[in-house]
Structure 1
Amino acid sequence: MKNLLLLFTIASIFISCKLNDATEEDTKTPVKDSTIVGADKDENGCLASAGYTWSKLNKECVKAFTGIQLNPTDNAATEDETLCAYVLFNEDGDKAEIFLPDDKSFIVSKSGSEKVWVFEDYQLIAQNGYQLKKAGQLVFSGDGEIGNKVSGSDNPDGQE
């Protein structure tokens, strides 16, 4: 009987130590993050979360908002870059890619010697900066300077 009691005590101690070890091990193991870095790449390999999109004109990932900003004419004072269109030119300046707010982009080509680039019913006109017209209707315009604009500031740093 003493042997049976001793065996039961040893077995209880052994089992309780194993349970404690398993519990401690579970608390020490860090929870792995299931988020994969770079998982938001598009079909061309551009990292959207970093602001990159595919340029049909340049055949590479670009940050469209580094181009010439065109504000919507119905809300010209907007500071919301997601409502603006952006223009990126090729090296020769005879073609430009227009990035619209709805993530649509298209390439316009220079028409003759004038400062007009055309694609279907879109026209990009170099006049007082740039104007983008659709079917003759002005939809976007900008001062022709590259990059995002902060309204109400003449200083590029935003400092007074």
Structure 2
Amino acid sequence: MKKLLFIAAVLFLSQSCKMADEKPESEVLKQLESKETMKSVDKDENGCLASAGYIWSKLNKECIKLFTGVQLNPIDKPQNDDETKSAYIMFNADANQAELFLPNAPQTIILSRTVDGKPWIYQDWQLISNKGFVLKQGDKTLYAGDDFIGKKVLGSDNEEN
């Protein structure tokens, strides 16, 4: 009888410990859904890690960081400090096409040129290279910038910081 009681107690304790370690199925499902949501929020439909500043380049078919392209500032604010209001340009390997990233635009614009020295064009958009870049839509100049990649540092000619 003591052996039977002892076996019953051991079985009861092992089952109660096992139950304490197990999470309810609904809690496990919530955790899995949460992880999937985090993955989908963090990456766009092309797999670019948006939280790290990456965006998909249709032209180069890869994830890129915009600030590695040429920054064009709005004409009405040439000393623009807000990069979210700037346009960016990325070129393909032979520079006969340029991908235009406009602020708050849902899609990029691919401009092309047929001959070196001529502007890149798409519909009424023109990207003109002349001691930097000028972006026009129709007759209106919207953005301009030098030919530096990314944001240039202003205010000091010294090598010391």
1:115 aligned to 2:118? yes
Write the distance in 2 (CA, Å) between the matches of 1:144 and 1:59: 23
Find the partner of 1:106 among 106, 109, 128: 109
Is the Cα–Cα contact under 8 Å of residues 79 and 149 in structure 1 kept in the other structure?
no
Write the distance in 2 (CA, Å) between the matches of 1:158 and 1:85: 31
Find the partner of 2:60 among 58, 61, 66: 58
Write the distance in 2 (CA, Å) between the matches of 1:55 and 1:68: 14
1:129 aligned to 2:116? no
Assess, with a 3 A threshold, how the Cα gap between structure 1 residues 47 and 70 changes in structure 2: closer, same or farther: same
Query: What is the TM-score when the length of structure 2 is the normalising length?
Result: 0.70
Find the partner of 1:76 among 75, 78, 81: 78
Write the distance in 1 (CA, Å) between the matches of 2:39 and 2:160: 33
* Counterpart residue number, 1:43: 45
Write the distance in 2 (CA, Å) between the matches of 1:59 and 1:158: 39
* Identity score, percent: 52
Find the partner of 1:140 among 124, 138, 143: 143
Code of the aligned partner of 1:89: F
Find the partner of 2:97 among 95, 98, 102: 95
Instruction: Note the residue ranges of structure 1 that are not aligned, 5 or more in a row.
Output: 1-17, 23-31
Assess, with a 3 A threshold, how the Cα gap between structure 1 residues 154 and 132 changes in structure 2: closer, same or farther: farther
SS at match of 2:51: helix
The CA RMSD over aligned residues, in Å, is: 2.4
Task: From the CA coordinates, give the structure whose radius of gyration is larger.
Answer: 1
Aligned length: 128
Is the Cα–Cα contact under 8 Å of residues 38 and 47 in structure 1 kept in the other structure?
no
Assess, with a 3 A threshold, how the Cα gap between structure 1 residues 129 and 136 changes in structure 2: closer, same or farther: same
Query: What is the TM-score when the length of structure 1 is the normalising length?
Result: 0.70
Code of the aligned partner of 2:60: N
Alignment of 1:14-53 (within 5 A): 34=34, 36=38, 39-53=41-55
Instruction: Note the residue ranges of structure 2 that are not aligned, 5 or more in a row.
Output: 1-15, 21-30
